[in-house]
């Protein structure tokens, strides 16, 4: 899922109260045809919007390196990023 911003839309509080304080937990419970939301980031919304305005097609491929809910992260994530890039390039060049 792509959030429309960095703080509030991702459940982070800065100075203003959140309009939907339980939004992240609601997304965690969401399921559609057995599919669940497993990633929550912010860059893709801008890329999708800009590419659509310019008549281009765009895609985002994410490597999940942290679990915000469990407060866990993978400090040695570079091999996973490398593998993801290789997989994506292999698919795109077939």
- 3 located within any domain: no
Q: What is the b/e burial string over 74-86, where b = at least 16 CB atoms within 10 angstroms of the residue's CB?
A: eeeeeeeeeeeee
- pLDDT computed for residue 53 by the predictor: 97
State residue 45's pLDDT score: 85
Distance, first Cα to last Cα, the chain: 27
What does pTM read for this prediction? 0.63
Instruction: Count other C-beta atoms under 10 Å from residue 24's C-beta.
Output: 17
pLDDT digit string (tens) for 22-62? 887 888 889 999 998 877 787 888 898 999 999 999 988 88
Q: Is residue 27 assigned to a domain?
A: yes
In a domain, 59, yes or no: yes
**Per the domain annotation, does 54 fall within a domain?**
yes
Inside any domain, residue 2? no
Q: What is the mean pLDDT of the chain?
A: 87
Specify if 1 maps to a domain: no
Answer for the pair 37, 29: CB distance below 8 angstroms, yes or no. no
The DSSP annotation for 21-80 comes to TTHHHHHHH-EETTEE----BSHHHHHHHHHHHTT----------EETTTTEE-S--HHH
- Structurally, the chain folds into a number of domains equal to 1
* Assigned domain for 14 exists: yes
Range of the domain at 60: 8-92
Percent of the chain exceeding pLDDT 70 equals 100
Residue 18 lies in a domain: yes
């Amino acid at each position: 899922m792509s959030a429309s911003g960095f703080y509030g839309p991702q459940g982070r509080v800065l100075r203003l109260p959140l309009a939907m304080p339980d939004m992240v937990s609601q997304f965690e419970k969401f399921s559609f045809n057995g599919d669940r939301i497993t990633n929550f980031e912010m860059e893709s919304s801008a890329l999708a919007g800009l590419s659509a305005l310019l008549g281009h097609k765009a895609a985002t491929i994410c490597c999940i390196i942290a679990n915000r809910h469990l407060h866990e992260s993978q400090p040695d994530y570079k091999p996973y990023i490398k593998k993801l890039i290789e997989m994506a390039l292999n698919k795109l060049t077939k």
